[in-house]
C-alpha cells in the first residue's frame, strides 16, 4: 500500500515557522475562505476543496495550540502516540476554533441580512473657480443616494403584520448543516438569515427597505480650499439598512486655473510686465488683484524677476484664517523697434555708462536682452 505523505502544516497555511499566533490565525482564515466547500458548485472541485479545507483545519488545530505546536516543531507529524490528526475526527467548534470560524462562517453563512448594515460613503467632485476657492462659497449639491424608505420605516413590509417568521428556519435565521467531518450552522436561504419573511412587500420600496432619491444639499465651502482637498460631511452618505448608521459624504475639490493668478500656499502670485525705462527710473503702475486694480510703486533700479509684496492681499487657508500676500513678479520688457532718436539717446547712454560694445553679442541691446530675459 502506498504511503500518503502529509504536507508540512506551515506550508499548508502558507506561513513561516516563526509566524506569530495572530499570523497563523489570519493565514487560516484566508485558506479556509479560499477552499470552503460551499463556494464550489462543481462536484469534483467541491471534493478537492473539502480535502484542502480539512487539511487546513488539521494544521490550525495543531499550530494554534502552543503545546501541540511545540511538539510538532520538535518531532513533526510523528509526535505523540497517534501523531497529529490521527484520532480527533475533526476540531471542536465550541472550543479554540470558535472565534476563527465565527468570522469565516459569519461571512459565508451566518452574516444574515437582518443585521444592521452601515451605509456607503459617497464622493461628490466639485469644480470651483479660482476666486470661489479663495473667497469660499455656499454650494448647492444634488446628491443621488439610497435613503431609508419612509412608508415602511425601513422594514420592507407593507405593515408590521406582514413580517412573518420564516418557516424554513423557524425564525432563527440559520439551519443546521452536516457536511462531511463537521457540522455548521448555515444561513437560511429562504429568508437570507433574517429569520423573517415579508408576506406583503412595501409598495414604495418593493421590499428593498430603501429607495433611490436625489437630495439637494447646501454646503459651505470654506475660504482657502485647494485642489485635492476633501471636505467630510458626516452622515450625509447613503442610509444604512436595518437600523445601520449612514455613511459620510466627501466633497472632493478641484480648482480651475486662473488666466493670470496662481497660488503658492496663502500667497497669490501675478506677473507684471514693465518697460526698461520704468525699471530704471522707477514709477507707479497698476497691478491687477482679486479685488480689482491697485497702484504699486516700482522702486528705481528694479531688476527683472524682482518680487514685490502686497501685504494681506492673498488668501487664507483651512489652517490659518489670516490672509497671505499678493506677490508681484516683475518682468522687464525690451523694445524691439526703436526710432532713430531713441537709438541715438540709448547709444549715448551706453557710451557714458561704459556698456557700449562692438562685439557680435548685439551691443547694448543684446546685453539688455540677456540681462532681462
Domain layout of the chain by residue ranges:
9-107, 122-255, 262-372
The confidence band for 366, taking pLDDT boundaries of 50, 70 and 90, is low
Cα gap 312→327, rounded to integer Å: 10
Phi and psi at residue 346, in whole multiples of 5°? -70, -35
Report pLDDT for 41: 65
The confidence band for 81, taking pLDDT boundaries of 50, 70 and 90, is very low
Residue range 222-240, pLDDT digits in tens: 999 999 999 999 999 999 8
CATH class of the structural domain 262-372? mainly beta
| pTM strictly above 0.85 | no
User: Is the CB of residue 323 less than 8 Å from the CB of residue 316?
Assistant: yes
Report pLDDT for 111: 46
Report pLDDT for 178: 63
Q: What angle, 0 to 180 degrees and rounded to 10, lies between the N-to-C axes of helices 66-75 and 43-63?
A: 100
Q: What angle, 0 to 180 degrees and rounded to 10, lies between the N-to-C axes of helices 21-34 and 98-108?
A: 30
Show the DSSP H helices in 35-168 as ranges: 43-63, 66-75, 98-108, 130-135
Report pLDDT for 95: 35
Report pLDDT for 160: 87
Q: Give the residue, 332 or 51, on which the prediction is more confident.
A: 332
Residue 188 CB burial class (10 angstroms; 0-12, 13-18, ≥19): buried
Q: Establish whether domains 9-107 and 122-255 are of one fold.
A: no
Report pLDDT for 313: 93
Assign a CATH topology to domain 122-255. Answer: Chaperone, DNAj Protein; Chain A (2.10.230)
Residue range 15-49, pLDDT digits in tens: 999 999 989 988 988 888 887 776 666 777 778 88
Q: Which three cell numbers stand for residue 253?
A: 475639490
Report pLDDT for 181: 56
Residue range 194-213, pLDDT digits in tens: 788 888 999 999 888 899 99
Show the DSSP H helices in 159-285 as ranges: 276-281
Phi and psi at residue 144, in whole multiples of 5°? -80, 130
Which H or E element spans position 230? strand 230-233
Cα 121–132–324 angle (5° rounding)? 110
Cα gap 319→175, rounded to integer Å: 56
Q: Does domain 9-107 have CATH number 3.40.190.10?
A: no
DSSP 3-state assignment of 51? helix
Residue range 334-360, pLDDT digits in tens: 988 889 998 899 889 888 877 765 544
Q: Which three cell numbers stand for residue 364?
A: 547694448
Amino acid at each position: 500500500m502506498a504511503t500518503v505523505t502529509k504536507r508540512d502544516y506551515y506550508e499548508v497555511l502558507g506561513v513561516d515557522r516563526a509566524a506569530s499566533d495572530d499570523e497563523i490565525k489570519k493565514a487560516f482564515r484566508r485558506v479556509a475562505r479560499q477552499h470552503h466547500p460551499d463556494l464550489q458548485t462543481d462536484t469534483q472541485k467541491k471534493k478537492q476543496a473539502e480535502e484542502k479545507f480539512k487539511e487546513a483545519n488539521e494544521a490550525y488545530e495543531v499550530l494554534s495550540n502552543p503545546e501541540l505546536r511545540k511538539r510538532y516543531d520538535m518531532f513533526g507529524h510523528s509526535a505523540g502516540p497517534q501523531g497529529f490528526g490521527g484520532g480527533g475526527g475533526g476540531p471542536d467548534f465550541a472550543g479554540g476554533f470558535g472565534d476563527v470560524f465565527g468570522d469565516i462562517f459569519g461571512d459565508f453563512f451566518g452574516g444574515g441580512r437582518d443585521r444592521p448594515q452601515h451605509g456607503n460613503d459617497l464622493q461628490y467632485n466639485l469644480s470651483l473657480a479660482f476666486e470661489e476657492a479663495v473667497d469660499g462659497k455656499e454650494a448647492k449639491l444634488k446628491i443621488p443616494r439610497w435613503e431609508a424608505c419612509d412608508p415602511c420605516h425601513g422594514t420592507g413590509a407593507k405593515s408590521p403584520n406582514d413580517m412573518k417568521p420564516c418557516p424554513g428556519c423557524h425564525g432563527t435565521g440559520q439551519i443546521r448543516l452536516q457536511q462531511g467531518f463537521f457540522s455548521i450552522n448555515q444561513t437560511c436561504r429562504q429568508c437570507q438569515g433574517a429569520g423573517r419573511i415579508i408576506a406583503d412587500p412595501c409598495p414604495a420600496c418593493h421590499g428593498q427597505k430603501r429607495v433611490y432619491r436625489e437630495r439637494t444639499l447646501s454646503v459651505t465651502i470654506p475660504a482657502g480650499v485647494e485642489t485635492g482637498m476633501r471636505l467630510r460631511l458626516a452622515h450625509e452618505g447613503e442610509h444604512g439598512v436595518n437600523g445601520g448608521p449612514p455613511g459620510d459624504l466627501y466633497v472632493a475639490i478641484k480648482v480651475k486655473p486662473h488666466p493670470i493668478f496662481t497660488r503658492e500656499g496663502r500667497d497669490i502670485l501675478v506677473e507684471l510686465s514693465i518697460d526698461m525705462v520704468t525699471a530704471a527710473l522707477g514709477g507707479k503702475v497698476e497691478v491687477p488683484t482679486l479685488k480689482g486694480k491697485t497702484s504699486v510703486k516700482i522702486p528705481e533700479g528694479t531688476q527683472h524677476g524682482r518680487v514685490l509684496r502686497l501685504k494681506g492681499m492673498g488668501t487664507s487657508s483651512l489652517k490659518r484664517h489670516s490672509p497671505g500676500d499678493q506677490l508681484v513678479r516683475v518682468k522687464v520688457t525690451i523694445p524691439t523697434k526703436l526710432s532713430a532718436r531713441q537709438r541715438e539717446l540709448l547709444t549715448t547712454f551706453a557710451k557714458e555708462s561704459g556698456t557700449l560694445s562692438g562685439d557680435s553679442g548685439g551691443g547694448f541691446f543684446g546685453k539688455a536682452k540677456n540681462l532681462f530675459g
